[in-house]
Structure formats: structure tokens, C-alpha cells
Structure 1
Amino acid sequence: MATYIYAITAADHPQKLDGLTGVGDPGGELRSVKTKALSAVVSDAPEDLRAKRRDLAAHQAVLETLMADGATLPMRFGLVGPDDDSVVSVLEESQSGYTERLSELDGCLEYNLKAAREEESLLREIIGQSEEIRRLREFTREHPEAQDEKMRLGELVSNEVQARNEAEGKELVERLAGGAQQYSMGEPTQQHFLNVSFLVRREKAAAFSQAVDEESQRRGEEYKLTLYGPLPPYSFV
């Protein structure tokens, strides 16, 4: 039977999995597949695996339990190997890489930060600081048929929005990166100009969260900074 893989840990990592079940209905029985150095927490993979709420919650519960006792390499939901022997082979072949990554993650937590700014505020700032955009804006109001000027205005505003978002995102990361071990940039969303994950030492987590709060207050009500975590360190695996 195929093997569903939840996470990889050191071989001596505590695995307090009593009371937990894995994915599937009924939930699969959890077990460990080990080499001398590494361990993978697995279960039998159901044939009809889907990203249902119950299965996502079961996957997450296993990760949170393992993370509470030390460095854990979380696998994405849905990772399946042919069988237990294949999992053992991968652990042996990639032992040095997994061991190095576990060492880097030891004592660390992941936090994801998303930052947004009110669109009207940003546009007011752009218009106020660009004479060319103000000129085109007034011209197209007076001449609504001027399609070329409308296209030029839209292009200028779009380029300026992108440039300012990138600059603000870079500045924000630089101001917060000192409180983290590493950071990993994600793709911005339609609502957020910044989507970044930080790897933070467990003992520095409260200070990092406070730094984000202070940065949010410094920037004012026009900005919304949302911090999610602690999370499984997917961004650093």
C-alpha cells in the first residue's frame, strides 16, 4: 500500500502521537519509518485522498504535535510514496541535506507577514507627487475621448504603484529582518503588496511580534500588517 508522509524529524525526536490519527476516513494509524539518523511519520495513504477539511486538520495536528518537541521538516499535504521501503531509501539518500535543514530549523518558528495599503491613500500620494500624472488626469477629464492619453495615464499610474509597492515592501523587510534568522519572499497578492515569511528563534518570537506591531503603528491606519504564526516552516524546507 502507498505511504502518506507527514514530516521528517531526527531519529531521536519525541513522537507523542497517542490520540492522533492520520488522513483518511477512518483516520489512518500513524507510525514511524526510521533510519539511524532520521525518522518519517507516515500512515497508509487512502486511495481517494482529497484536501478535505478533516484530512487537512489531521495533517496539521501531526505537524503541530511534532513541532512542539523540536525541529520538524513538514511535508505538504498530499505527499505520497510507493511504500515504506521507498521512504527509507529517500531518507538514506538525502540524509545529509535533511540533517542540515533540521539543524537550521532547530529552535525556530515560521511567521508569515502580509502587508496592504489603502488604494485611495496610495493614489493620492502618487497624484500629489507627479506633475505629469496630474496633467494627464486633468486633460482626460476635460477630453474623455482622448484614448491615447487615458492609456498613458493608466500606464504611468500602474508603473508608479508597482514601484512604490516594491520599495515599501523592501523597506519593511529590511526593518524586520534583524529579528529573524532568515526570510523568504512570496508572491504578492491582489490585496497585499508584501507577502514574506520569517524564520524566527522561538525565544525571540514575542519580540518579533512586538516589532511588527510597532511597525504597524508607525505606518498608521492607511496600512494593514497581518502576522500569521507560528506556522510549520514550509517556506524554509
Structure 2
Amino acid sequence: MTLLLYGIVRADHPLPPGLRAVVAGDLAVVVSDIGSSAELAAEDARAHLNVLCGLVVDGPILPLRFGSMAPDDQAVRDSALLPNAAAVRLELDRLTGMVEVRVQLAFDETAALEALADTDPDLAQPITGFDAAIARGRRIADHVKEWSRQRSGELLGGLSTAMVRLDEPDDGTQHWALLVRHDEIHRVAESIAAMPSTVTATALGPLPPYAFASLPTRTPSRWGFD
């Protein structure tokens, strides 16, 4: 039998059917028993996320990487709990009552260009020559990206305890992770829904604090621990 690991919680964290806790003192790792020859697929990744989203509603959780496994309970304790118990407790305390919300912002291109023209009139001046046009285009693209980042900070900064900018895709959208109080998530959702018409905003949450949980790093093992 192999254990599939989900995350680290306090030992008294309530668990739904199908999951169990591997306990060490006041800490525990949430696990499920899977066959020793089980192969993980895309639907398992979705199920893993669903489990974590359900768990974070009832208390803090430090999510473990999808696909982390262990051969038995003692291996879980030895790898995930015992070496850094004090640091894990501090992280759980810090994240108590907090959840993550992922936000995507897509700004209206015309609005962005108008804002840039107001701050840098040179961008609207006529130019001649192919090379100059290419250079102008690159300059405008860089300015739009920077403006989008700054505008995102203005729109989202007051909604969270902390925020992290995630990887930027090529389509120019801004992706952010917000750390918010679970009891304020409805207010955050309402604020995002009420953003100006020049930005299209979507939000996903509550999520476990992927972007904000900090676990001591470990040498990767054959069982998938970081």
C-alpha cells in the first residue's frame, strides 16, 4: 500500500470520509491510501486540489506537492513532520484564518494606451522609418505591461493581507495571488466584481495558500518530498 499526501494540518483538523491523518504530536499530514501500482492522472490532480480546497475551509493547511507519496505512516512522519515541526507550527499559526484567491485581470487596450499617452506624450508623436516603428512598438508594449502591473496593484492592494504577482502569459493579462481572511472572501469577491469597466476581472477561491506557505526545503526523495 502507498500513501498519497495532501498537506500538513493541526492534529485536530476535521477530515472528510476517505482521508486520514498521520499524526505526530500536535501536527498531522492528511493522506489517503492508494494501491502500490496506482498511476496518477489529470483527474487525480483535480481531485487533489478539491481535497485541499475543502480542508482549508476548516483551518490552515500547508499544501504538499501533488504526487507526494510515502510507503507508510512512519515515513510520512520522518519526512514531513518531525524534522521541522517548530517551523511548521509557526506557518500554521501565521496562516490561521487565511486563504488564497487567484485573480486574473485583463485591461482594455485602448484605456491603457490613453493612460500612457497622458503620462508620456512622446509615445503619440509621429515617427518615420521601419526600425523606428519597431522600436516604438516595443517601447509601448513595455510601457503597457508596466502600467498594467501598477494598475493591478492599485486595484488589488487594499483587498488582501499580502499579494504575489504570478507568471505573466503572453496575452498581457495579469495574474495575482491574494492572501485574504476567509471571513472576508465575500467582500473581496464583491470588490473584484465591481471593478471598472476598463478591466475584466475573474477570481478563483478560496484556495489553500500555495503562493504564501513557506515550508523548509528538503532534498527531493523518491517519494516526492520537496
TM-score tier (shorter): 0.7 to 0.9
User: Larger % of helix: which?
Assistant: 1
CA 1:123–1:48 in 2, change beyond 3 Å: closer, same or farther?
farther
TM-superposition CA deviations, 1:162-219 (whole Å, max 9, x none): 22322332233244323312112211112244211111112221222222233x22xx
Counterpart of 1:52? Answer: 42
Q: Distance in 1 between matches of 2:124 and 2:158?
A: 37
Q: Distance in 1 between matches of 2:20 and 2:123?
A: 66
Q: For 1:202-217, list aligned pairs within 5 A.
A: 202-214=182-194, 216-217=195-196
Counterpart of 1:156? Answer: 136
1:43 equivalent in alignment to 2:43: no
Q: Which runs of 5+ in 2 are unaligned?
A: 214-226
Matching residue within 103, 106, 114 for 2:93:
103
TM-superposition CA deviations, 1:36-84 (whole Å, max 9, x none): 021001134553533322x134313322332221111222321223543
1:85 equivalent in alignment to 2:61: no
Q: CA RMSD in A?
A: 2.6
Q: Distance in 2 between matches of 1:159 and 1:96?
A: 49
Matching residue within 207, 211, 214 for 1:235:
211
Structure with higher RCO (Cα < 8 A, 6+ apart): 2
Rg comparison, structure with higher value: 1
Q: Distance in 2 between matches of 1:121 and 1:171?
A: 11
1:75 equivalent in alignment to 2:51: no
Counterpart of 2:219? Answer: none
Q: Aligned letter for 2:190?
A: Q
Q: Aligned letter for 2:208?
A: P
Secondary structure of the structure 2 residue equivalent to 1:236: coil
Q: Distance in 1 between matches of 2:112 and 2:153?
A: 19
Secondary structure of the structure 2 residue equivalent to 1:9: strand
Q: Which runs of 5+ in 1 are unaligned?
A: 21-29, 140-148
1:34 equivalent in alignment to 2:23: yes
Q: For 1:180-199, list aligned pairs within 5 A.
A: 180-199=160-179
Q: Distance in 1 between matches of 2:113 and 2:143?
A: 13
- Aligned identity (percent) is 27
Normalised by the length of structure 1, the TM-score is 0.76
Q: Distance in 2 between matches of 1:119 and 1:174?
A: 18
Counterpart of 1:115? Answer: 105
1:171 equivalent in alignment to 2:151: yes
Q: Distance in 2 between matches of 1:125 and 1:179?
A: 24
